[in-house]
Structure 1
Amino acid sequence: MSERTNDPIHTHPIELLQNLIRFDTTNPPGNEIDCVNYIHRLLTDAGVDTWIFAKDPNRPNLIARLQGQGTAPPLLLYGHVDVVTTEGQDWTHPPFGGEIHDGYIWGRGALDMKSGAAMMLAAVLRAKAEGLSPPGDVVLAILCDEEAGGVYGAMYMVDEHPDQFEGIRYALGEFGGASFYIAGKTFYPIQVAEKQICWMRGTVSGPGGHGSRPMRGGAMAKLGRVLQRLDKSRLPVHITPAARQMFEIIGSSLPMVQGFVLRQLLNPALTDSVLKLMGEHKLNFEPLFHNTVNATIVHGGEKINVIPSKIVFEMDGRLLPGFTPDDMIAELSPILGDEVELEIVWYDPGPAEPDMGLFDTLADVMQEADPGGIALPMLLPAVTDARFFSRLGIQTYGFTPMKLPEDFRFFDLAHAADERLPVEIMAFGTKAIYSVLQRFGG
């Protein structure tokens, strides 16, 4: 590790991120222990109270607590340090090198989410070093296993150690605060809600037989028809409270004509037509108005000369807040028809509507960080560990602030080759999170 000997590490959050990237915490298998131990050492050396909790000794979670004044409920900061694989990807610079080139820090986790974890850690270390007495306790949770479902991380902590989060109402976590641009305006989306996992398994059946004999209308052909229908179909439009708030703010911030057109996304009869006009934003906006499903895995056939009589395919379904697996089945049934036996294999429920009590504080922080920027609530089309903490009544705000270049494609780089982040972002985000520590609960 490359800790500075003169200046405290919290004054150089980019260096802290470099050190975190250099731990290979690819999940699976995770092996987050060395990375968590490094963070543990930094916190204990600074005099911060810490505890380790682990379902698997090689996959620990860390809790640190700064004492506050007791005038506000505790605030939770949490981030995960496991990362997705780099297998099969062609990187310009080593994915676990944490190297800086052309003004960017390169490496797996630079976006998701070792940068966010480093911002939070740096803010807590600064608070301790400067003797900050926040309104309430600040609880920092460094978690494992988010990228593989959270069984060893947030799910374990919520199920087995809920006492660590007693009295907490609000949390800062991942995905939110990264700028995007429309019509020359800068927007900072703060995640307040996210879609729900609804994973499904479909089975198609037909006559089997010898591969030398032509087979028409068998299981393979049925699967082909089903996948074609899925590819050409959209599930119905739904306008959730979180999406309505998000697009009303964007629309009111744009010039009259552009704002009027964008606000038509909130008219279910026009949503899909307006999405076609959204250009590069279409892929990010479309799942905010639909329950979605993608076929991702197919199991079928044992031998090349045997026609399979059964094929199983798995689908990644994502539900909007407030919807259930029954809604997904009802919307999918007209598309799948009677050729598919459908079952739900995993469903993680979440809150139907967000608690917006901390939003104005976070929006004020972003306004001060970038006076020309506009903060808005965001519905995330993916899932995070927020779904587990919501079981304890904790509202997560995705808040890892990043003032990105206009041509930077955050979601194209996260989980992809050449994941990277502009160097100056780390100081920007750390300062914003520290500002929250100074004023939450007011």
Structure 2
Amino acid sequence: MTSSTPAVPDPTAPAGAVPRAEDEVVRICRDLLRIDSSNYGDGSGPGERAAAEHVMELLHEVGLEPELFESAPGRANVVVRLEGEDRTRPALVLHGHLDVVPAQASDWTYDPFAGEETEGLLWGRGAVDMKDMDAMILAVVRQMAREGRKPARDVVVAFFADEEAGGVYGAGWAVRERPELFEGASEAISEVGGFSVEVDGRRAYLLQTAEKGLAWLRLVADGTAGHGSQTNDANAVTHLAAAVARIGAHRWPYQLTPTVDALLRGVADLTGLPFDAQDPTAVDALVDALGPAKKFVGATVRHTSNPTQLAAGYKANVIPGRAEATVDVRLLPGFEEAGMATLRELAGEHVRIEPIHQDIALEVPFAGDLVDAMVDALHVEDPGATVLPYTLSGGTDNKSLARLGITGYGFAPLRLPPELDFSGMFHGVDERVPTDALRFGVRVLDRLLRTC
């Protein structure tokens, strides 16, 4: 794929005629929210094609030449490379995903695919995960193209399919089948970081430098089928239920990774609370000081294992010969093997574990030129704020890019009101993002691409 150079601005256009990213980011986000790109994880649903075609239109409109490719019918991805001022430097990947998790309209205040804007908030499925960041990327790239301005280095702008189901049809497929798209890239930026929280009355931004490993596992118990009235010591349901109960109730010990350690030390500095990695009470107090963000951070001081699905039997008086369950396991960077060993012990001798989908954990330094540029860009827009590293309890497409040696960060910059439960809206009901936060984000991203 050839690089796209920005469109040359019209010298006869009146001053101020070029739309700014701040002027159109809300509209772009609203239009994306109105496209249902729900990912049910089983191949059903509308797919990302409509959203990808809309992205193509927005990029073509400003003279860029993106490529749209499908990994399967309807599973569409869009990539364009922007030529940088210094092409001798490694490229940066700036990426988002176009799919969203499903939403039940009856549970929402507003239709999740209506893109309702009210009282300074934009509502809809994907408003925080992650069509907000998609819109910020598009708005900034469009402004740069209109102005004929290049980023500091080559930037590979990518919008992937299927992130919400592990990226098999999106970033994972692109890395495996189209690695040339990312040639020369060394670093990447995507979700979920750069958003603000209030800590003891002071604003802090959480920059994501790590994410837990992913393991969607199937527990399988094989037993002896028989009549429900008979004694049966090889009851598959009994064996499975016991394993599920052990795994679901297991209290994983605290294990502070370097990123979590650095975050909690930063919170201690802001609050004056004591930091003691060996004292769970002290750790809990520091996590609680992060307010709504404790939902993310509280899940990163230990492994988690949550049973999510059960399946067995076909009639009340028939003991089935097989029973299955699904468990969502998230493992801390550096402790994955020990975590899996514990899960096998908890499952017991009568239950085997089969992988459904697994992916790596990530942890990268909170240091270097790119981190410095992200921190500086935030400080220009919000002087005096603190920037801290943190670990994401979920996962992102940076896992796939890591297979090409690309170091990934979560940086979707948003200055948020302290009362907004931002982390609680991921995959939740009534997703919404402040329109002012979107405008803040494009200012930060624009400055970052000028300097990084």
TM-score where L is the length of structure 2: 0.87
Match of 1:12 in 2: 24
Match of 1:129 in 2: 146
Q: How does 1:64-103 map to 2 (within 5 A)?
A: 64-70=80-86, 72-87=89-104, 89-103=106-120
- In structure 2, what is the Cα distance between the partners aligned to 1:148 and 1:30? 14
Cα deviation code 1:43-91 (max 9, x no counterpart): 1121123222222242221112222112532221100111111137511
Bigger drift between 58-67 and 334-343 goes to: 334-343
**1:21 partnered with 2:37:** no
Cα deviation code 1:323-370 (max 9, x no counterpart): 33x322322244334343233343212445447421111111111221
Match of 1:109 in 2: 126
Match of 1:55 in 2: 71
Report the alpha carbon displacement of residue 433 of structure 1 after superposing the two structures with TM. Answer: 0.5
Cα 1:276–1:366, aligned 2, differ >3 Å: closer, same or farther? Answer: closer
Report the alpha carbon displacement of residue 383 of structure 1 after superposing the two structures with TM. Answer: 0.6
- In structure 2, what is the Cα distance between the partners aligned to 1:89 and 1:213? 45
SS in 1 for 2:254: coil
Cα 1:24–1:335, aligned 2, differ >3 Å: closer, same or farther? Answer: same
Match of 1:373 in 2: 385
Match of 2:254 in 1: 237
Percent same amino acid among aligned pairs?
A: 35
Match of 1:3 in 2: none
**1:150 partnered with 2:167:** yes
2:360 pairs, out of 349, 369, 374, with 349
Report the alpha carbon displacement of residue 30 of structure 1 after superposing the two structures with TM. Answer: 4.1
SS in 2 for 1:338: coil
- In structure 2, what is the Cα distance between the partners aligned to 1:213 and 1:9? 74
Does the 8 A contact of 2:124 with 2:430 survive in 1?
yes
**1:290 partnered with 2:302:** yes
Q: Which runs of 5+ in 1 are unaligned?
A: 1-5
1:275 pairs, out of 278, 284, 308, with 284
- In structure 2, what is the Cα distance between the partners aligned to 1:32 and 1:334? 40
Match of 1:199 in 2: 216
Cα deviation code 1:13-53 (max 9, x no counterpart): 10110111111111132432222112111211211232222
Cα 1:9–1:305, aligned 2, differ >3 Å: closer, same or farther? Answer: farther
Report the alpha carbon displacement of residue 133 of structure 1 after superposing the two structures with TM. Answer: 2.7
Does the 8 A contact of 1:291 with 1:328 survive in 2?
yes
Match of 2:5 in 1: none
Report the alpha carbon displacement of residue 205 of structure 1 after superposing the two structures with TM. Answer: 4.5
- In structure 1, what is the Cα distance between the partners aligned to 2:342 and 2:365? 25
Q: Given residue 300 of structure 1, which amino acid in structure 2 is its aligned partner? A: A
Match of 1:181 in 2: 198
- In structure 1, what is the Cα distance between the partners aligned to 2:115 and 2:140? 20
Report the alpha carbon displacement of residue 7 of structure 1 after superposing the two structures with TM. Answer: 6.6
Q: How does 1:187-336 map to 2 (within 5 A)?
A: 187-213=204-230, 218-254=235-271, 256=272, 258=273, 260=274, 263-264=275-276, 267=277, 269-271=278-280, 274-275=283-284, 278-279=287-288, 282-324=294-336, 326-336=337-347
Cα 1:30–1:374, aligned 2, differ >3 Å: closer, same or farther? Answer: farther
Does the 8 A contact of 1:240 with 1:321 survive in 2?
yes
Does the 8 A contact of 1:66 with 1:128 survive in 2?
no
Q: Given residue 339 of structure 2, which amino acid in structure 1 is its aligned partner? A: M
Q: Given residue 287 of structure 1, which amino acid in structure 2 is its aligned partner? A: A
Match of 2:427 in 1: 415
Cα 1:118–1:308, aligned 2, differ >3 Å: closer, same or farther? Answer: same
Report the alpha carbon displacement of residue 216 of structure 1 after superposing the two structures with TM. Answer: 7.8
Match of 1:42 in 2: 58
TM-score where L is the length of structure 1: 0.89
**1:340 partnered with 2:357:** no
Cα 1:33–1:333, aligned 2, differ >3 Å: closer, same or farther? Answer: closer
Report the alpha carbon displacement of residue 111 of structure 1 after superposing the two structures with TM. Answer: 0.7
**1:425 partnered with 2:441:** no
Report the alpha carbon displacement of residue 147 of structure 1 after superposing the two structures with TM. Answer: 1.1
Report the alpha carbon displacement of residue 152 of structure 1 after superposing the two structures with TM. Answer: 1.6
Match of 1:401 in 2: 413
- In structure 2, what is the Cα distance between the partners aligned to 1:340 and 1:43? 51
Cα deviation code 1:277-330 (max 9, x no counterpart): 744565433321212211111121121221224322121111111233x32232
Bigger drift between 231-240 and 274-283 goes to: 274-283
Q: Given residue 189 of structure 1, which amino acid in structure 2 is its aligned partner? A: L
